[in-house]
Amino acid sequence: QVQLVESGGGLVQPGGSLRLSCAASGFTFSSLHMNWYRQGPGKERELVAAISSTGGIANYADSVKGRFTISRDNPKNTLYLQMNSLKPDDTAVYYCNTNLDRRTYWGQGTQVTVSS
C-alpha cells in the first residue's frame, strides 16, 4: 500500500538546476520524517538530505550543502529536492525514502545526469 514515486530527473548541464518530486501515498505522510538518497555509478547509496515531519528541520550531506534544498508540501503528500549549481559528481539515481513500522520504503528512483 505504501508507494513513493519520484519524478523530475533528466539531463542537465553543469551549473544547471533540477527540481525532483516524490509523490507519497498509502500512509500518513505528514507524520513521517522523509529522506532523499542517491547512488552514483560505482558508488554506495548515500543520504543526501532529510526533513522532519513538519518541514521545520532539514539536514544535508556536506557535498550538497548550500546547493540543494529539501522541502515538503504535506497537504499534497509531496516531497521535493531543489538542486542548483549541479556538478558532474551529482550524477546518480535519486531515491525518495521513509521508515514506517520498522520497515524501510523506497521509490523506483529518478536518473539525474549532469554533463556537457
Report strand pairing: 110-114 vs 10-12: parallel
For 26-75, write each residue's pLDDT tens digit: 999 999 999 999 999 999 999 999 999 999 999 999 999 999 999 999 99
Let me know: does 90 contact 83? Beta carbons within 8 Å. Answer: yes
Identify residue 103 by its one-letter amino acid code: R
What H or E segment, with its residue span, contains residue 98?
strand 92-100
pLDDT (0 to 100) of residue 17:
98
How many whole angstroms separate alpha carbon 87 and alpha carbon 16? 8
The whole-number pLDDT of residue 33 equals 97
Q: Where are the alpha helices (DSSP H) in 33-76?
A: none
Q: What does the pLDDT read at residue 48? A: 98
Q: How far apart are alpha carbons 75 and 68 in whole angstroms? A: 22
